[in-house]
């Protein structure tokens, strides 16, 4: 049986663990520094298995030794956003958490693929890559799958059509500078530019960019976790089952889209080895400029993080 370890047993980590277990993708280890929390949630999920009919092991632990031999390590540890905060506000506090987590991953399961969830995700993915020294194909940030799902949800609401027929595409960083691509977002193959006015598309794009903040504002004491957990499970499934899915993920660019030395969201082929290819779609000048602007913001964040 394959093995997925999740660092951080909060709402996102626990939800991702449950989705992964329900799909029977792998045995799951849920790790947290707080004693009892991962053990309790792991036991609760195990007790759900006879009802939901999934036959994998879910174990909670506080010991990094338990994640040895993991195929994938998902990192959700760190602070979540509160009302009034943006993702970059979390950078310095979460960077300390990610540094410790990354050192433990590198020591305990040096062949694993890392999926980073902790915000600001594009900066934290870069940070984990630097600390672990892992090949770039094995360090992946999750954001595009989540942002694309939000875009699809809002399109479905606007058009009153099934979400199953919507193929969305959102690139760029996981923040207000993300780059939804209406030309590459379709409903049963039909670009939404042929189904919606430019004004309505702009409103949907803006809601997508603020999608996380909208939920933070409603919850008041936390941030989204069902959709992020589902996005993790989709990425894990693409990798472990070698599905070769084309999904937008935060990956290291080395000249693609005329962007270098940054993790940012672009379409990639996900398979058993991690990032198997970076897909360079034909962007017009406005789309490319928006993507490059998004990358620059996170480059500035990295420079701020690493300044002496």
Supply the CATH number for residue 26's domain. 3.40.50.720
CB 236 within 8 A of CB 21: no
Rounded CA gap, 173 and 97, in Å? 21
Question: Considering only CA atoms, which of 190, 149, 185 is closest in space to residue 287?
Answer: 185
> pLDDT tens-digit profile of 36-91?
999 999 999 999 999 999 999 999 999 999 999 999 999 999 987 677 666 667 88
Pairing of strands 186-187, 179-180: unpaired
Query: What's the pLDDT at 222?
Result: 85
Query: What's the pLDDT at 88?
Result: 67
Q: Which of 110, 141, 172 is at the close of a domain?
A: 141
Can you give the residue range of the structural domain that contains 289? 144-306
CB 169 within 8 A of CB 149: no
On whether both 63 and 127 belong to a single domain, the answer is yes
Rounded CA gap, 300 and 41, in Å? 38
Rounded CA gap, 49 and 297, in Å? 44
On whether both 107 and 155 belong to a single domain, the answer is no
On whether both 83 and 129 belong to a single domain, the answer is yes
CB 108 within 8 A of CB 67: yes
Q: Residue 92 catalytic? A: no
Instruction: Give me the catalytic one of 3, 127, 174, 299.
Output: 174
Query: What's the pLDDT at 308?
Result: 58
Within a 10 A sphere around the Cβ of 245, how many other Cβ atoms?
17
On whether both 153 and 134 belong to a single domain, the answer is no
Q: Which of 141, 176, 206 is at the close of a domain?
A: 141
On whether both 267 and 159 belong to a single domain, the answer is yes
On whether both 74 and 132 belong to a single domain, the answer is yes
On whether both 119 and 50 belong to a single domain, the answer is yes
Query: What's the pLDDT at 158?
Result: 98
On whether both 174 and 294 belong to a single domain, the answer is yes
Residues 6 or more apart from 163 whose CB is under 8 A from it?
A: 152, 153, 156
Query: What's the pLDDT at 93?
Result: 87
Q: In total, how many domains does the chain have?
A: 2
Ranges of the chain with pLDDT below 70: 81, 84-88, 308
């Amino acid at each position: 049986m394959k093995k997925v370890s999740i660092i951080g047993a909060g709402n996102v980590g626990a939800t991702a663990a449950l989705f992964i277990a329900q799909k029977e993708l792998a045995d799951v280890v849920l790790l947290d520094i707080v004693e009892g929390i991962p053990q309790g949630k792991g036991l609760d999920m195990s007790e759900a298995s006879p009802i939901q009919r999934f036959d994998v092991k879910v174990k909670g632990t506080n010991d990094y030794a338990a994640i040895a031999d993991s195929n994938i390590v998902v990192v959700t540890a760190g602070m979540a956003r509160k009302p009034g905060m943006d993702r970059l506000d979390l950078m310095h506090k979460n960077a300390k958490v990610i540094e410790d987590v990354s050192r433990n991953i590198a020591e305990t399961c040096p062949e694993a693929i890392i999926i980073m969830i902790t915000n600001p995700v594009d900066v934290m993915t870069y940070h984990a890559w630097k600390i672990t020294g892992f090949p770039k194909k094995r360090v992946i940030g999750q954001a595009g799958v989540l942002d694309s799902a939000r875009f699809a949800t809002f399109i479905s609401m606007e058009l009153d059509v099934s979400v199953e027929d919507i193929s969305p595409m959102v690139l760029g960083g996981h923040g207000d500078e993300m780059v939804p691509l209406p030309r590459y977002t379709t409903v049963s193959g039909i670009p939404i530019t042929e189904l919606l006015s430019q004004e309505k598309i702009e409103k949907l794009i803006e809601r997508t960019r603020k999608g996380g903040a909208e939920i933070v504002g409603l919850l008041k004491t936390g941030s989204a976790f069902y959709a992020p957990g589902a996005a993790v499970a989709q990425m894990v499934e693409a990798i472990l089952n070698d599905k070769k899915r084309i999904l937008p993920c935060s990956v290291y660019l080395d000249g693609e889209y005329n962007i270098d030395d940054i993790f940012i969201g672009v379409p990639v082929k996900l398979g058993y080895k991690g990032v198997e290819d970076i897909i360079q779609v034909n962007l017009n000048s406005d789309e490319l400029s928006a993507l490059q602007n998004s990358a620059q913001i996170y480059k500035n964040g990295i420079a701020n993080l690493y300044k002496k």
